[in-house]
Protein backbone atom coordinates (compact mmCIF):
# COMPACT_ATOMS: atom_id res chain seq x y z
CA UNK A 1 0.00 0.00 0.00
CA UNK A 2 1.46 3.40 -0.93
CA UNK A 3 1.55 5.94 1.87
CA UNK A 4 0.07 9.43 1.59
CA UNK A 5 3.44 10.93 0.68
CA UNK A 6 3.53 8.76 -2.45
CA UNK A 7 0.08 9.78 -3.65
CA UNK A 8 -0.10 12.47 -6.37
CA UNK A 9 -1.31 15.87 -5.21
CA UNK A 10 -4.48 17.06 -6.90
CA UNK A 11 -4.40 20.61 -8.31
CA UNK A 12 -7.22 21.63 -5.96
CA UNK A 13 -5.07 20.70 -2.97
CA UNK A 14 -2.93 23.77 -3.79
CA UNK A 15 -5.72 26.14 -2.74
CA UNK A 16 -8.35 26.24 0.00
CA UNK A 17 -10.92 27.78 -2.35
CA UNK A 18 -13.27 25.66 -4.42
CA UNK A 19 -15.52 28.37 -5.88
CA UNK A 20 -14.74 32.08 -6.18
CA UNK A 21 -16.02 35.27 -7.76
CA UNK A 22 -13.56 37.39 -9.75
CA UNK A 23 -14.69 41.01 -10.04
CA UNK A 24 -12.80 43.31 -12.39
CA UNK A 25 -13.56 46.78 -13.66
CA UNK A 26 -14.21 47.56 -17.28
CA UNK A 27 -11.22 49.90 -17.15
CA UNK A 28 -8.99 46.87 -16.51
CA UNK A 29 -9.67 45.79 -20.11
CA UNK A 30 -8.48 49.08 -21.60
CA UNK A 31 -4.77 48.45 -21.16
CA UNK A 32 -2.93 51.71 -21.79
CA UNK A 33 -5.74 53.01 -23.97
CA UNK A 34 -8.13 55.63 -22.69
CA UNK A 35 -11.24 53.86 -23.93
CA UNK A 36 -12.63 50.56 -25.17
CA UNK A 37 -11.08 47.10 -25.27
CA UNK A 38 -7.39 46.27 -25.60
CA UNK A 39 -7.35 42.67 -26.93
CA UNK A 40 -3.85 41.78 -25.58
CA UNK A 41 -4.96 42.89 -22.09
CA UNK A 42 -8.16 40.85 -22.32
CA UNK A 43 -6.09 37.85 -23.41
CA UNK A 44 -3.65 38.32 -20.51
CA UNK A 45 -6.49 38.37 -17.96
CA UNK A 46 -8.05 35.32 -19.65
CA UNK A 47 -4.73 33.51 -19.24
CA UNK A 48 -4.77 34.38 -15.51
CA UNK A 49 -8.28 32.95 -15.22
CA UNK A 50 -7.19 29.80 -17.05
CA UNK A 51 -4.27 29.28 -14.65
CA UNK A 52 -6.72 29.27 -11.71
CA UNK A 53 -9.27 27.17 -13.58
CA UNK A 54 -6.52 24.59 -14.17
CA UNK A 55 -6.24 24.21 -10.38
CA UNK A 56 -9.81 22.90 -10.35
CA UNK A 57 -11.32 26.07 -8.89
CA UNK A 58 -14.84 26.96 -10.05
CA UNK A 59 -14.86 30.57 -11.26
CA UNK A 60 -17.60 33.18 -11.64
CA UNK A 61 -16.83 36.59 -13.11
CA UNK A 62 -18.41 40.02 -13.16
CA UNK A 63 -16.85 42.70 -15.38
CA UNK A 64 -17.76 46.37 -15.20
CA UNK A 65 -18.56 48.49 -18.23
CA UNK A 66 -16.69 51.71 -17.46
CA UNK A 67 -14.32 51.32 -20.41
CA UNK A 68 -17.31 51.78 -22.73
CA UNK A 69 -19.99 53.66 -20.80
CA UNK A 70 -20.50 54.55 -17.16
CA UNK A 71 -24.07 55.25 -16.07
CA UNK A 72 -23.15 57.76 -13.35
CA UNK A 73 -21.11 59.84 -15.78
CA UNK A 74 -23.94 59.86 -18.29
CA UNK A 75 -26.34 60.92 -15.55
CA UNK A 76 -23.97 63.69 -14.43
CA UNK A 77 -23.97 65.04 -17.99
CA UNK A 78 -27.73 65.39 -18.03
CA UNK A 79 -28.88 61.97 -19.19
CA UNK A 80 -31.81 60.42 -17.36
CA UNK A 81 -30.29 58.14 -14.70
CA UNK A 82 -32.28 54.99 -15.45
CA UNK A 83 -31.47 55.16 -19.16
CA UNK A 84 -27.80 55.81 -18.42
CA UNK A 85 -27.64 52.81 -16.09
CA UNK A 86 -29.21 50.51 -18.67
CA UNK A 87 -26.63 51.68 -21.21
CA UNK A 88 -23.91 50.82 -18.70
CA UNK A 89 -25.41 47.35 -18.26
CA UNK A 90 -25.25 46.77 -22.01
CA UNK A 91 -21.58 47.76 -21.94
CA UNK A 92 -20.91 44.97 -19.43
CA UNK A 93 -22.41 42.46 -21.88
CA UNK A 94 -19.93 43.58 -24.55
CA UNK A 95 -17.04 43.09 -22.12
CA UNK A 96 -18.35 39.69 -21.04
CA UNK A 97 -18.52 38.51 -24.66
CA UNK A 98 -14.96 39.72 -25.26
CA UNK A 99 -13.74 37.78 -22.21
CA UNK A 100 -15.71 34.71 -23.28
CA UNK A 101 -14.02 34.81 -26.70
CA UNK A 102 -10.55 35.00 -25.13
CA UNK A 103 -11.27 32.19 -22.65
CA UNK A 104 -12.68 29.87 -25.30
CA UNK A 105 -9.60 30.52 -27.45
CA UNK A 106 -7.76 28.89 -24.51
CA UNK A 107 -10.18 25.92 -24.57
CA UNK A 108 -12.00 27.02 -21.41
CA UNK A 109 -15.74 26.36 -21.67
CA UNK A 110 -17.57 29.56 -20.76
CA UNK A 111 -21.12 30.82 -20.35
CA UNK A 112 -22.23 34.45 -20.40
CA UNK A 113 -25.39 34.91 -18.33
CA UNK A 114 -27.24 38.21 -18.56
CA UNK A 115 -29.66 39.72 -16.06
CA UNK A 116 -31.33 41.37 -19.08
CA UNK A 117 -32.63 38.68 -21.46
CA UNK A 118 -30.94 38.72 -24.89
CA UNK A 119 -31.23 35.13 -26.03
CA UNK A 120 -29.36 35.58 -29.31
CA UNK A 121 -26.05 36.29 -27.58
CA UNK A 122 -26.19 34.85 -24.04
CA UNK A 123 -28.28 32.97 -21.52
CA UNK A 124 -30.83 34.55 -19.18
CA UNK A 125 -30.05 34.37 -15.47
CA UNK A 126 -31.46 31.23 -13.85
CA UNK A 127 -29.70 30.44 -10.59
CA UNK A 128 -29.88 26.65 -10.71
CA UNK A 129 -28.65 26.58 -14.31
CA UNK A 130 -25.73 28.85 -13.42
CA UNK A 131 -24.78 26.59 -10.51
CA UNK A 132 -24.87 23.59 -12.82
CA UNK A 133 -22.52 25.31 -15.26
CA UNK A 134 -20.05 25.83 -12.41
CA UNK A 135 -20.35 22.19 -11.35
CA UNK A 136 -19.45 21.26 -14.94
CA UNK A 137 -16.29 23.40 -14.57
CA UNK A 138 -17.45 26.12 -16.94
CA UNK A 139 -16.42 29.70 -16.23
CA UNK A 140 -19.61 31.71 -15.72
CA UNK A 141 -19.55 35.42 -16.59
CA UNK A 142 -22.48 37.35 -15.17
CA UNK A 143 -23.40 40.39 -17.28
CA UNK A 144 -25.83 43.31 -17.14
CA UNK A 145 -25.39 43.84 -13.41
CA UNK A 146 -28.44 42.98 -11.37
CA UNK A 147 -30.73 43.99 -14.24
CA UNK A 148 -31.84 47.04 -12.26
CA UNK A 149 -30.73 50.68 -12.41
CA UNK A 150 -29.13 52.36 -9.37
CA UNK A 151 -27.03 49.26 -8.59
CA UNK A 152 -23.35 48.93 -9.47
CA UNK A 153 -21.49 45.91 -10.79
CA UNK A 154 -19.85 45.70 -7.34
CA UNK A 155 -23.27 45.00 -5.86
CA UNK A 156 -24.05 42.60 -8.71
CA UNK A 157 -20.82 40.68 -8.05
CA UNK A 158 -21.58 40.40 -4.33
CA UNK A 159 -25.17 39.33 -5.00
CA UNK A 160 -24.17 36.65 -7.52
CA UNK A 161 -21.29 35.46 -5.30
CA UNK A 162 -23.78 34.84 -2.50
CA UNK A 163 -26.28 33.16 -4.80
CA UNK A 164 -23.57 30.87 -6.21
CA UNK A 165 -22.23 30.06 -2.71
CA UNK A 166 -18.78 31.43 -3.57
CA UNK A 167 -16.21 31.30 -0.78
CA UNK A 168 -14.69 34.71 -1.56
CA UNK A 169 -14.77 37.66 -3.93
CA UNK A 170 -11.45 38.43 -5.59
CA UNK A 171 -11.42 42.06 -6.66
CA UNK A 172 -8.72 42.82 -9.24
CA UNK A 173 -7.61 46.46 -9.23
CA UNK A 174 -4.71 48.67 -10.30
CA UNK A 175 -3.11 48.51 -6.83
CA UNK A 176 -2.03 45.61 -4.61
CA UNK A 177 -4.59 46.00 -1.85
CA UNK A 178 -6.59 48.52 0.16
CA UNK A 179 -4.93 51.82 1.11
CA UNK A 180 -6.06 54.66 3.35
CA UNK A 181 -5.59 57.00 0.36
CA UNK A 182 -4.61 56.76 -3.28
CA UNK A 183 -1.04 55.35 -3.34
CA UNK A 184 -0.49 56.76 -6.83
CA UNK A 185 -1.04 60.29 -5.52
CA UNK A 186 0.27 59.99 -1.94
CA UNK A 187 3.67 58.47 -1.16
CA UNK A 188 2.70 58.09 2.51
CA UNK A 189 -0.38 55.98 1.78
CA UNK A 190 -0.78 53.10 4.22
CA UNK A 191 -1.70 49.63 2.92
CA UNK A 192 -3.83 47.30 5.02
CA UNK A 193 -3.19 43.55 5.15
CA UNK A 194 -6.58 43.02 6.76
CA UNK A 195 -9.48 45.38 7.32
CA UNK A 196 -13.05 44.85 8.50
CA UNK A 197 -16.21 45.63 6.59
CA UNK A 198 -17.15 48.26 9.16
CA UNK A 199 -13.75 49.95 8.85
CA UNK A 200 -14.17 50.10 5.07
CA UNK A 201 -17.56 51.77 5.49
CA UNK A 202 -16.55 54.12 8.31
CA UNK A 203 -13.32 55.27 6.63
CA UNK A 204 -14.75 55.39 3.09
CA UNK A 205 -11.88 53.25 1.83
CA UNK A 206 -13.46 52.76 -1.58
CA UNK A 207 -13.05 49.01 -1.90
CA UNK A 208 -16.59 48.64 -3.26
CA UNK A 209 -19.72 50.72 -2.90
CA UNK A 210 -21.50 50.69 0.44
CA UNK A 211 -24.32 48.38 -0.70
CA UNK A 212 -21.84 45.73 -1.83
CA UNK A 213 -19.81 45.94 1.39
CA UNK A 214 -22.95 45.70 3.54
CA UNK A 215 -24.19 42.68 1.57
CA UNK A 216 -20.81 40.95 1.93
CA UNK A 217 -20.75 41.74 5.65
CA UNK A 218 -24.26 40.42 6.23
CA UNK A 219 -23.29 37.12 4.61
CA UNK A 220 -19.73 36.96 6.00
CA UNK A 221 -18.28 36.83 2.48
CA UNK A 222 -14.57 37.82 2.43
CA UNK A 223 -13.30 40.23 -0.23
CA UNK A 224 -9.70 39.86 -1.37
CA UNK A 225 -8.29 42.93 -3.12
CA UNK A 226 -5.22 42.41 -5.32
CA UNK A 227 -3.44 43.89 -8.33
CA UNK A 228 -4.39 42.64 -11.78
CA UNK A 229 -1.10 44.06 -13.06
CA UNK A 230 0.97 41.62 -11.00
CA UNK A 231 1.88 38.62 -13.19
CA UNK A 232 0.25 35.43 -11.95
CA UNK A 233 -1.33 37.46 -9.13
CA UNK A 234 -4.73 35.72 -9.10
CA UNK A 235 -3.23 32.22 -9.03
CA UNK A 236 -0.52 33.25 -6.57
CA UNK A 237 -3.00 34.50 -3.99
CA UNK A 238 -5.04 31.33 -4.27
CA UNK A 239 -1.82 29.42 -3.55
CA UNK A 240 -1.06 31.64 -0.54
CA UNK A 241 1.49 33.95 -2.18
CA UNK A 242 1.53 37.59 -3.22
CA UNK A 243 0.42 40.91 -1.77
CA UNK A 244 -3.25 41.61 -1.12
CA UNK A 245 -5.77 42.88 1.42
CA UNK A 246 -8.52 40.79 2.96
CA UNK A 247 -11.77 42.52 3.93
CA UNK A 248 -13.40 40.39 6.62
CA UNK A 249 -15.85 40.30 9.50
Mean pLDDT value of segment 8-21? 68
In whole angstroms, give the CA distance from residue 41 to residue 241.
23
In whole angstroms, give the CA distance from residue 14 to residue 71.
40
pLDDT recorded at residue 1 = 45
pLDDT digits (tens, 9 = 90+) for 44-97: 999 999 999 999 999 999 999 999 987 667 777 888 999 999 999 999 999 999
- Give bridge partners of residue 62 from the DSSP assignment: 23, 142
Domain extent for 16: 4-248
Which of residues 21 and 13 earns the better pLDDT score? 21
- Give bridge partners of residue 168 from the DSSP assignment: none
Mean pLDDT value of segment 194-217? 95
- Give bridge partners of residue 61 from the DSSP assignment: 22, 141
Identify the H or E element spanning 21.
strand 19-24
Q: For the residues of 160-194, what is the DSSP string, one character each?
A: HHHHTT-S-EEEEESSSSEESS-TTT-TTPPEESE
pLDDT digits (tens, 9 = 90+) for 163-173: 999 999 999 99
Closest CA to 143 of 167, 175, 110: 110
Contact 113, 156 (CB under 8 A): no
Give the CATH number for residue 126.
3.40.1160.10
Domain count for the chain, please give it: 1
**Residue 8: band (very low, low, confident or very high) from pLDDT cuts 50, 70, 90:** very low
pLDDT recorded at residue 7 = 41
31: Cα within 13 Å, side-chain hemisphere:
11
In whole angstroms, give the CA distance from residue 232 to residue 170.
14
Contact 46, 161 (CB under 8 A): no
Burial of 60 (0-12, 13-18, 19+ CB in 10 A): buried
Contact 153, 145 (CB under 8 A): yes
Amino acid sequence: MPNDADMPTSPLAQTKFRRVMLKISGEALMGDQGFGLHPPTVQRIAQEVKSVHDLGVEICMVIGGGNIFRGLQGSAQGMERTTADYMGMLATVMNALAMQSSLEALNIHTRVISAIPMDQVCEPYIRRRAVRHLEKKRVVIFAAGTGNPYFTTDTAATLRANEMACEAIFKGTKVDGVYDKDPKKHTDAKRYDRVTYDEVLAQHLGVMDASAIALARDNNLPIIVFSLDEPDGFKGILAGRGTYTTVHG
